[in-house]
Amino acid sequence: MKTPSSRRDAIKKVATMAMASTVFSSLSERVSAHERAVDAPLKGKVNHSVCAWCYNGIPLETLCQSARDMGIRSIEIISPEQFETIKKYDLTCAMVGAQHRDWGITKGWNRKEHHAGLGAYYRDLIDKTSAAGFTNLICFSGNRNGLDDEQGIINCAEGLKQIIGYAEKKKVTLVMELLNSKVNHADYQCDRTAWGVELCKAVGSDNFKLLYDIYHMQIMEGDVIRTLQDNQKYIAHYHTGGVPGRNEIDETQELYYPAIIKAVVETGFKGFVAQEFVPKRADKLASLRQGVQICDV
């Protein structure tokens, strides 16, 4: 006959084994569900893109072929010299990059002394973007460098109005990216959605909109879903990224992307959602595939 203590030990052992079995079964179901998700065809509600710079260690042709295999329709933030490569794979460029030795994130449209040089540069980029059949071209506010936010809007609008008519004629939309000035781009002026929206209103053209980078705006202001719902008419494009660290957008970070992208779709948005996280795992393309599946709501 078992003693009370041995009986308690036996009951505890059985309970532990049952719990372990349940946990293992739950984990197995999750793994199986993940494998099914990876192999599942895309639902077609989201236009998927990927930023090439996040995969600099992978040849562009390899990235193009892998993107096609995943159902990604666009490779973006590339230069005109790379257009023919992505076209070989029947891909588009949802956001043309603007990489110039004199102009970029820190030196942009918020300074009047930049307008002449930026105007010439962007007219050339507008021509090349239009000739390739692409429609979105990235641009930047530049850093504040002591400039107050109201004057920054005035200056940006003045400069952009000098070329927006040309962009309209060529059917190209200039898209200013919202970036955080807290972690990655200190002093950048277009660092809040409200500032970008006011600039859109000041420019007054459907061919000037915002690139809402979810990673950057989570850092600066949070309230992502309500913000994009309230301001969708001013948003032409989305970028993803895990917070903190700008790595994979899975359970390792604080944002829940399925809910965010579902909210984007429900606004009626027909543009592209681009993966712009920097993979930290060895199999970078597996991380990209996972990111696409997470966003394919």
Residue 203: C-alpha distances to residues 13, 212, 263 (Å): 71, 18, 27
Averaged confidence pLDDT in the chain: 90
Neighbouring C-beta atoms of residue 290, cutoff 10 Å = 20
Residue 33 confidence (pLDDT): 41
Tokens 């973006």 belong to residue: 76
Residue 125 confidence (pLDDT): 98
Q: Which residues of the chain are under the pLDDT cut of 50?
A: 2, 4, 7, 10-11, 14-39
List pLDDT tens digits, range 97-128: 997 888 899 999 999 999 999 999 999 999 99
Contact 219, 252 (CB under 8 A): no
Residue 184 confidence (pLDDT): 97
**pTM of the full predicted structure?**
0.87
Rounded distance, CA 96 to CA 35, Å? Answer: 33
Burial level of 183, CB count in 10 A (0-12/13-18/19+)?
middle
Residue 41 confidence (pLDDT): 87
Counting residues of the chain whose pLDDT is more than 70, the rounded percentage is: 87
List pLDDT tens digits, range 228-251: 999 999 999 999 999 999 999 999
Which of 64, 63, 70, 62 minimizes the C-alpha distance to 87? 64
